[in-house]
Amino acid sequence: MAFSPTELLAIARTVALEAGELVARRRSEGVTVAATKSTSIDVVTLADRECEEFVKARLAQLRPEDGFYGEEGSDSTGTSGLTWILDPIDGTVNYLYDIPQYAVSIAVVEGVADPASWKQLAGVVYNPAIEDLYYGSVGGGAFQEWNGTITQLRVNEETLLAHALFATGFGYSAEVRSEQAHVLTTILPAVRDIRRAGAASLDLCAVASGRLDGYFERGTKPWDHAAGSLVAREAGAVVGGLNGAPEGESMLVATNKQLFPEIEKLLIK
């Protein structure tokens, strides 16, 4: 099946908006925790599962030969060489508490759901709580649609680490959180400040839009960043891991080209 990044982006955008409407409707009706995953505080809602099933079914209608990789385990292998990567609700704890910082994140890549080998083609991140939409396609730039306005995104060009506002996130296990807290004792004195909003996809889009100067986190999964990291890249960000590695579970960093090596030095220590 032939494809172009622009056509794939149009599909991702349509399905993300539809899924966002479903997620918002379920939030207004009240949220039910369906299960926990890695720890007792790593929750899955019924809306997470319903959204994933909805998106997978819609993509099967529109792109039946493509593969699928979702946070809640709805994986399938396609024949086209493309894989759709979904986080049905990125920021589930925010969703549970009705904090309006959560998103549907949909990306499509050439290859499998592995940042070491994939080629990102298109991605959409949609926060239905405030109807804030971010999207991008490879070589096509990154954009935000909000309040009836479309804006092309560019990262900030801050060059002084001490003046840079960074965001991060924390894992769900006590051991990982302890290590992340230790890292903060090095990072926090060196930057303007740290934010922790609770949704990796939206943090990456905030870097793209200039609301943040940078973002770093250990422990992210492909569904957390497949769409947001493409949006950030298309807005001019450098996205990667440490010591030349691709972004992934060991570390994800997104910032401008001037600040990347500066924050990397501190994260390697």
Model confidence pLDDT, tens digit, residues 19-39: 999 999 999 998 878 776 667
Per-residue pLDDT, 40 = 61
**Residue 221 CB contacts under 8 Å (≥ 6 apart), including other chains:** 71, 249
Confidence of residue 112 (pLDDT cuts 50, 70, 90): very high
Q: Considering 127, 152, 177, which residue would you say is the last residue of a domain?
A: 152
For range 115-123, the mean pLDDT: 97
Q: Write the burial class of residue 141 (CB in 10 Å: 0-12 exposed, 13-18 middle, 19+ buried).
A: middle
Please state, in angstroms and rounded to a whole number, the distance separating the CA atoms of residues 97 and 231: 27
The reply to whether 27 and 133 lie within a common domain is yes
Q: Is the pLDDT of residue 191 over 90?
A: yes
The reply to whether 199 and 140 lie within a common domain is no
Percentage of the chain beyond pLDDT 70 is: 96
Please state, in angstroms and rounded to a whole number, the distance separating the CA atoms of residues 1 and 65: 7
Q: Is the pLDDT of residue 147 over 80?
A: yes
Per-residue pLDDT, 2 = 60
Name residue, tokens 């990072």. Answer: 187
The reply to whether 165 and 93 lie within a common domain is no
For range 69-98, the mean pLDDT: 92
Domain extent at residue 55: 5-152
Per-residue pLDDT, 63 = 96
Whole-Å CA distances, 14 to 49, 65, 250: 19, 18, 32
The reply to whether 105 and 171 lie within a common domain is no
Strands 214-217 and 103-110, bridge-based pairing: unpaired
Per-residue pLDDT, 74 = 73
Percentage of the chain beyond pLDDT 90 is: 86
Confidence of residue 172 (pLDDT cuts 50, 70, 90): confident
The reply to whether 234 and 258 lie within a common domain is yes
Q: Considering 152, 173, 208, which residue would you say is the last residue of a domain?
A: 152
Q: What is the CATH number of the domain that holds 261?
A: 3.40.190.80
What does the radius of gyration of the chain's CA atoms come to, in whole angstroms? 17
Q: Is the pLDDT of residue 1 over 70?
A: no
**Closest to 122 (Cα-Cα) out of 3, 22, 247:** 3
For range 72-84, the mean pLDDT: 89
The reply to whether 189 and 57 lie within a common domain is no
**In sequence order, what E strands does the chain have?**
33-36, 43-45, 67-70, 82-90, 103-110, 119-127, 132-137, 141-146, 149-152, 165-168, 193-195, 214-217, 238-240, 252-255
For range 234-255, the mean pLDDT: 97
The reply to whether 222 and 104 lie within a common domain is no
The reply to whether 145 and 189 lie within a common domain is no
For range 209-222, the mean pLDDT: 97
Total domain count, the chain:
2
Q: Considering 152, 170, 193, which residue would you say is the last residue of a domain?
A: 152
**Closest to 11 (Cα-Cα) out of 145, 107, 87:** 107
Please state, in angstroms and rounded to a whole number, the distance separating the CA atoms of residues 13 and 93: 24
pLDDT digits (tens, 9 = 90+) for 37-54: 667 656 788 999 999 999
For range 62-80, the mean pLDDT: 91
